[in-house]
Chain A
Amino acid sequence: MFKRIQTGNLVKTFIFFAVIFYLGKVFDPYNQGQLSVVLMYFIGILSITFLTGLSGQISLGQGALMAVGGYTCALGILNLGLNYWQSIIFSVLASLIAGWILGITAARLSGPYLAGTTLVIALAIPSLANRFESVFGGDVGLNVEFGAPPQWFVNLIGEIGFEQWQLFATLPFASIALFFALNLFKSRTGRSWRAVRDHEIAASLAGINVQRMKIFTFVVASGFAGLAGAMYGLRGIVGPSVYPISLSLTLLTGAVLGGLRSIGGAFIGAVLVVFLPDLIESLSGTWEIAPQIGNYLPAMVSSILLILTVVLNPAGIAGGLHHRKPRHK
């Protein structure tokens, strides 16, 4: 996939790890929990960045692939007795397989047909959970969590809260995902995906197997979504109401707001969709907005921002920042 690992990417990843780790030490427990959700969404949005931003395929069902990861992780822990990190690896493998199957179908579809297909898959998750209730736990779902931190870790950094452990347990996976994404962006594979996105026929004439490349994109994106879903479920429960259709739309909103074609955009988008409701809540509290209006404000503000982004700045925040950079001659 990528033959050369760039030192710069290693440094970026290390800085990312260090900054988040520091924030995890100084944030209060609530914001530690929110920051861990940012990391989970970041990985999930990266899957959309690959799929839509890099290779031009639209998916409205990333939440379903997250569910694949979540359920596999939960079943690994509950039925196979795996610990959470073993189970996360297991769930990424299952998601890669699910992505491969979905990719075979997706490679034959494009535009609204592909979006519709992925949407239906996202809608089917609750039905499957109920149809095979003895396995998936129906609407009640499956109770899993990160558990307690290992003693060596407590000895290393001191007493650790539930939310803080959730963040620190997520951070290595988010860092690996970031490192992988940074390298992928600049690799031959990344360039091939962009070529497919920009002009399929031209890409084909350049020797790229378009069908195979589309399937491959789905596989990689599914792996990321599965990883995000596994960790999202480990917050307490894996069930249909954890991976609703709105989760897929939230990830897509984050990707568009942050910038569909950039890794930084994925992170900015994740921060926005997680912290925007908190910001609005604190503002609505200051302005004494009635709850019946305040309850709908986050969704309304997100929608307005989404419309403004699409109309005024389609490249998203990261794209806008990129264009503002002075160019070196």
Chain B
Amino acid sequence: MNIRASLSRKKLIGLTAVLIAGSMTLAEIPANAADPGVSASEIVLGMQLPETGPASPGYNKVDDAMRAYFDYVNSKGGIGGKKIRLEVKDDTYKAGLTISTASSLINKEKVFAFIGSIGTQTHISVIKDINRRKIPDVFVNSGFSDFYNPATYPTTFAALGTYVTEAKIMGKYLKEKYADKKIGILYQSDDFGRNSLEGFAKAGLTFEAKKTSADFIAGTQGSVGLASQLTQLKANGVEIVIIAAVSSATAVALLTASALGYKPDKWAVISVGSDATTFQTIAGSKGIPASMSAAMLTGLISASHAPAPGDSADEYVTAFKKINDDFNKGADKRWDNNVMQGMNIGYMATGALKGTLNPKSTFSAKNNKTCQANAKKNILTRVCFIDYIESNGSNIESAAFTALQYSATTHEAFSGFWIGAYDAATVLQPVSGTRVVYTTDSGNGPVTVSSYKRPAIAADALPKN
């Protein structure tokens, strides 16, 4: 009995040891196991945007450009041997539908992260849920500054400078350049428009309601039109008209002003609404030839955080344009701001994913050991991905002329813009001949000239993270 008891004890000890080892292994799994959307061969990313509907023109090219860049990365072997697959859902810019499309991406497609989602109004409806589930929500195509407070939304990161930042920089330029002119604004009465107004006010540019300031409800530009707003600005003698609206609204505004015989000295348009190709496509659909729509654009002032798509001397433009030519399978792959933005998001995402899987990367003190160990084992987790982006914002490469600002206190993207005007070939050219990048914050900080030097793009157009 004693022997048997002894053997049993030995067996028991052995079994206990196995169980402890096993449970320790199991306990390690949550830290080291890959999250949903990641396998040995694939990383699934999700995006929602208006592919169809009144808000879709122009923006529905961004996903095709992102997919083209990921296809290019995949053709080079992917990231850590994993191919990137982009799942896209059309929410038609209706928040009620966005909730369902987000649920589909999370529960059906099992995405690892949301990337590059477009639409401030629509993203508001799901941002809380995405963050609650701790899913990375990176490179969001919205300049709405409320999204990028890590205390509120720890997994959400921007892909654009905020509307406040851009309006501050543009406002300073317009105020100084056109001090003797009457400046007015046409804006969409949502967070985009109001954030822009806030930025212009910080630059000392304020407007008088119903006189030098006219607003409209986003989405009604196609049905109701903008004639009453432009008639108001014309009647009040506004000489410089700022537009803070989406591309389709900018097109309606310019075409309506032309029909009304209203010719302000200058138009100045916030960057997300100033894409030349989108404008010319909409003008073309109304029977206006390209030469005439190009003439309407000539002289229009806008801003950009990245090189103009027409800047053929820029190395990022050259590299991205070639990838677009070779890999974009979208219905409309014409090279423009939207395609450039999609390419840049693909480039930044690739850098962030590469960096997360690079054992030499540094993470926050809290996660450094685990994330470096994961990277050595080629394990991608959401926690480490978010940590890498937050801890290495300035190291994530992009085509922009200022570094990403991500940190533990802000998830805003770019702080710098340069001011340009469209030439006769619809290329945005620096207003002063040479490009000067200004930088500021979304608060009350000053507007200063940026000294940032953008890193050169690698020969294979892959980020070096």
A interface residue numbers (CB < 8 A to B): 28-30, 33-34, 37, 126-127, 130, 138-141, 143, 145, 162-163, 232, 235-237, 239-244, 246-247, 278, 290-292, 295-296
Contact = CB atoms under 8 A, between A and B. Distances in A.
B389 to A, nearest CB: 25
A3 B447 CA distance: 73
Interface residues of B, number: 34
A246 B94 contact: yes
A241 B94 CA distance: 5
A130 B132 CA distance: 28
A127 B223 CA distance: 14
Nearest to B132: A162
B107 A30 contact: yes
A292 B329 CA distance: 11
A284 to B, nearest CB: 12
A138 B122 CA distance: 13
Given A34-B100, A235-B99, A239-B124, A244 B94 contact: yes
Mostly helix, strand, loop or mixed at chain B's interface? helix
Interface of B: 51-52, 88, 90, 93-96, 99-100, 103-104, 106-108, 120-122, 124-126, 128-129, 132-133, 189-191, 194, 217-220, 331
B121 A296 contact: no
Given A29-B107, A242-B94, A246-B94, 9 more contacts: A138-B191, A139-B218, A141-B124, A235-B99, A236-B99, A236-B128, A242-B95, A247-B96, A295-B52
A296 B460 CA distance: 37
A130 B331 contact: no
A179 B219 CA distance: 39
Given A29-B107, A241-B93, A242-B125, A139 B99 contact: no
A96 B220 CA distance: 30
A241 B122 contact: yes
B40 to A, nearest CB: 24
A28 B126 contact: no
A143 B108 CA distance: 25
Contacts of A237: 95, 99, 124-125
B103 A295 contact: no
Contact of A242 (B96, B106, B129, B191): B96
A241 B95 contact: yes
Contact of A232 (B51, B93, B96, B133): B96
Nearest to B215: A130
List the 5 closest A-B pairs by CB distance, nearest first.
Answer: A139-B190, A30-B107, A237-B125, A241-B95, A29-B107
A22 to B, nearest CB: 19
Contact of B90 (A28, A34, A295): A295
Contacts of B124: 140-141, 143, 237, 239
Contacts of A242: 94-96, 125
Interface hub of A130, A140, A232, A292 (most chain B Cβ within 10 A): A140
Contacts of B133: 162
Contact of B128 (A126, A141, A145, A243): A145
